A and B are shown apart, each in its own frame.
Chain A
Amino acid sequence: MIELTHIHRNFQVGDQVVHALDDVTLNIAAGEYVSIMGPSGSGKSTLLNLLGLLDRPTSGTYRLNGRDVTSLSDIEQARVRNHEIGFVFQMFHLVPRLTAEENVELPLMLAGMPVEERRKKVASALKDLGLEARSHHRPEQLSGGQRQRVAIARATVTEPRVLLADEPTGNLDHKSGEDVIHILEQLNQRGITLIIVTHDLEMGQRAKRQLRMLDGRLHSDHSDGQPAELDHGAS
């Protein structure tokens, strides 16, 4: 469902060009559970942002569900983000003045969904994450783990096919982190394609498929614990 071919992403910093992504080619099938690991600055977030259409590659093509999405207009990309992709961030990124319920409602509001339909979806998303009792709380009244659960509810309320999580446990204590990972894995078991960026080795190894990034390149790609080293020197 995700096909990246020869993706480059360069950043101009002063008069230097940083190759944040350097010729990345990658296929991910629907329903996979993928972790992306690698040292800081290796391009993990850049890759995830590209997958989430928050960023455009400098060159290369990205096909999502068979459609080339790199050439879509801003409006069309926004629609794809809204319908097909869910994000979970390290910083949660909840709107502080909105209640849990209202935060979860945001993507549906942006989709222009009728109010009654929205209410139902929001309620069931919050219920799935055990947050019914917290629906009228604002983020400041919630613990870190609860906040991330609200963020997950928000990411999944649109029933996206892909869930992208950038260090989702980075700001949580161990226990809450475990909870969040369990929730994400459960979602994956129900069919969602899950891609997690992490530099927690233990967490990364839980994924059925593990990618390692190094200096903007895909360094390794293990599936089900069976290493499949990528050939670098050849090119």
Chain B
Amino acid sequence: MALHSADIARFSWGALRGYPTRTVLMLVAMAIGVSAVVVLTSLGEGARLYVMDKFASLGTNLIIVIPGRSETAGINPSTMMGETPRDLTLDDALALTRSYKVRRISPINVGSARVTHAGRARDTVILGTSAEMLAIRHWELAQGKFIPKMDLDRATSVAVIGKKIRDELFGAERAIGKWLRIGDRRFRVIGIMGSEGRSIGVDVQEIVMIPVASAQQLFNTSSVFRILVEAKTREAIEPVKQFIIDTLQKRHQGKKDVTVITQDAVLATFDRILGALTYAVGGIAAISLAVAGILIMNVMLVAVSQRTAEIGLLKALGASPRHIITLILAEAFLLSSLGAIAGYLLGQLGSWIIRYAFPVLPAYAPAWAVLISLLVAIVTGLLFSLMPARRAARLDPVQALSRR
């Protein structure tokens, strides 16, 4: 004697409708639990994506070469002997292009200088760089052109200026094509950097960029401050890192005197921390969901004792213990699924509100969190109804029927 599933569903649905207070109570408990998971994880995930995005805007698959060994900085024999670490040069940078795993490189020089035009002046950061920088940092020009592709050691007198610099020096006047003075040299403005404001550290609107060789002349140096290297793929980062170390060691007479950092490492740390945070809040919410299970158990126990006579009757009519367990669990399943769905919708509404209130946060609950919360809700609903269901199945029909 097997019950038809349509009958099970109809009977359980009828039972739920027959006791609306109990049903609503359980639905609310479930819905709160599930929506808590959805909202909290969407918040955590939103924060993670926000930070990741900020970092990603520094550049993808980016490797930064810094002169000097940072790990052994304090006790480096060369520093002890009063030597300064060997500088990075443009030739070093050029040598780093000789791997097919390297997509592009850009050496940079940084300094500060006075920029003047038509009597107006301000001190600002000067960034010596190359044409590739635009692509490496995912920058976009507001107007004009960027530093043209050319040999790294060519010092042409062109400058790309930030929007704020333009506003301060040129006002409403058209800046492209005009000359300005940086220190004692003249440069022609060829491009304006807009506000995409996504970059951490530098505000491109407030700097002036010139070719790296020009910057070397300006600051009277033959070295470069950093070399930025972009690997072709994420997998290429490690081999490229090794390639950089080997190449520069060869070029520096066998000395390992550079530090290579990947922003991937930094990114990974943040990713881990924020990911863990999301898991943690999701976990806590899921636990609270499991606690809702205890409420479910109690409510189901009440349901069973409320319906003692009905269960006794079903037994008298030929329901086996298995039938009774099936019917009670079906009821719990229906209840927790409906609660879970309601909670899911509520949670989506919640994260929508978060996104509406904080547009920078991409607060979408991750799929795993949604899946787990639905699963936990349904499984706890069933698990915690097992005991009441068993109790119902064991009810003595004679006593169940004689009770009033």
Residues on A facing B (Cβ under 8 Å): 45, 49, 52, 54-55, 74-75, 78-79, 81-83, 87, 89, 91, 93, 95-98, 102, 106-107, 109-112, 115, 154, 158
Contacts and interface: CB of A to CB of B under 8 A. Distances in A.
B323 A110 contact: yes
A112 B1 contact: yes
Size band of the interface chain B makes with A: 20 to 34
Interface of B: 1-4, 6-7, 11, 14-15, 17-18, 309-310, 312-323, 396-398, 401-402, 404
15 contacts: A45-B402, A49-B398, A54-B397, A54-B401, A55-B396, A75-B320, A83-B318, A91-B309, A91-B401, A91-B404, A97-B14, A102-B14, A106-B314, A107-B318, A115-B4
B196 to A, nearest CB: 64
Contacts of A45: 398, 402
Nearest 3 CB-CB pairs, A to B? A82-B318, A97-B18, A78-B320
A74 B318 CA distance: 10
B398 A54 contact: yes
A81 B317 contact: yes
B240 to A, nearest CB: 68
B208 to A, nearest CB: 80
A79 B321 contact: no
A169 to B, nearest CB: 17
Given A74-B320, A109-B7, A111-B1, A93 B15 contact: no
B310 A95 contact: yes
A52 B404 CA distance: 21
B314 A110 contact: yes
Contact of B321 (A49, A75, A97): A75
A97 B1 contact: no
B316 A54 contact: yes
Contact of B398 (A55, A102, A107): A55
Contacts of B314: 106, 110
A112 B3 contact: yes
Given A54-B397, A79-B1, A154-B317, 9 more contacts: A45-B398, A75-B321, A78-B318, A79-B320, A81-B315, A82-B319, A83-B318, A97-B18, A112-B1
A95 B11 CA distance: 11
Nearest to B320: A78
A74 to B, nearest CB: 6
Contacts of B318: 78-79, 81-83, 107, 110-111, 158
A112 B320 contact: no
A149 B323 CA distance: 26
Contacts of B14: 97-98, 102
Contacts of B320: 74-75, 78-79
